[in-house]
């Protein structure tokens, strides 16, 4: 029985980083690529965020990542995390923002990966099957946040 519980615990920890580990990862990324200047108060997973991979509220210094990133390659997760960290320093997506991400060597690759995932996710939807509500503006593929 004990063996089984240990095995379950190991599986659990392999499956995903907890919020604490996520915060630790954010701190490491900030140190490595942003001179440690981005210091979020809170970094956590959310399950109710389906149109964006991540979001940042600079005024509250909080970062939320979509649970859909769980299980994706680490360089993709790191890119989204770094992207949101950079928003603590530059809230928009202007040239100053992208300059901050230049230090991360896999920005383009991660963006390509996310575009692929977003594209594949749209495939099963039949054109014209949209609900009658507000027209759904398709998000820019691979856009991390709004
Ligand atoms: Zn963004």
Distance 5 CA to ligand 1 centre (A): 40
Listed in order, strand segments (DSSP E) in the chain are: 42-46, 54-57, 62-66
Would you state the structure tokens that stand for residue 144, as one six-digit string? 């991390």
Contact yes or no for 19/43 (Cβ under 8 A): yes
β-strand partners of 56: 63
pLDDT for 131: 47
pLDDT tens for the 146 residues of the chain, in order: 667 667 655 555 445 788 899 999 999 999 999 999 999 999 999 998 878 899 999 999 999 999 999 989 999 999 999 999 999 999 999 999 999 999 999 999 999 999 998 888 777 655 554 444 444 444 444 467 75
Q: What are phi and psi of 2, to 5 degrees?
A: -60, -40
Distance 8 CA to ligand 1 centre (A): 36
Contact yes or no for 146/64 (Cβ under 8 A): no
Domain ranges of the chain: 2-121
Residue whose C-alpha is closest to residue 144's, from 90, 69, 88: 69
The whole-angstrom separation of Cα 56 and Cα 16 is 21
Distance 127 CA to ligand 1 centre (A): 28
Distance 9 CA to ligand 1 centre (A): 34
pLDDT for 49: 80
pLDDT for 3: 74
pLDDT for 133: 46
Contact yes or no for 30/85 (Cβ under 8 A): yes
Distance 68 CA to ligand 1 centre (A): 17
pLDDT for 137: 45
Contact yes or no for 84/54 (Cβ under 8 A): yes
Would you state the structure tokens that stand for residue 97, as one six-digit string? 């923002």
Which fold, 2-121?
Answer: Zincin-like (3.30.2010)
Q: How far are the Cα atoms of 37, 38, 83 from residue 121, in angstroms, in the given order?
A: 35, 32, 22
Q: Which residues surround ligand 1, an ion (CB under 5 A)?
A: 144-145
């Amino acid at each position: 029985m004990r063996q089984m519980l240990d095995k379950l615990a190991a599986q659990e920890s392999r499956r995903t980083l907890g919020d604490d580990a996520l915060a630790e990862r954010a701190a490491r990324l900030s140190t490595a690529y942003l001179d440690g200047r981005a210091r979020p108060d809170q970094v956590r997973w959310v399950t109710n965020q389906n149109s964006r991979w991540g979001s940042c509220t600079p005024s509250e210094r909080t970062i939320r990542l979509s649970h859909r990133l769980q299980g994706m390659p680490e360089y993709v997760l790191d890119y989204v995390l770094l992207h949101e960290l950079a928003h603590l320093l530059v809230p928009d997506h202007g040239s100053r923002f992208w300059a901050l991400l230049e230090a991360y060597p896999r920005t383009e690759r991660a963006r390509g990966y996310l575009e692929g995932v977003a594209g594949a996710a749209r495939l099963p939807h039949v054109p014209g099957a949209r609900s009658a509500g507000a027209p759904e503006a398709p998000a820019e593929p691979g856009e991390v946040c709004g």
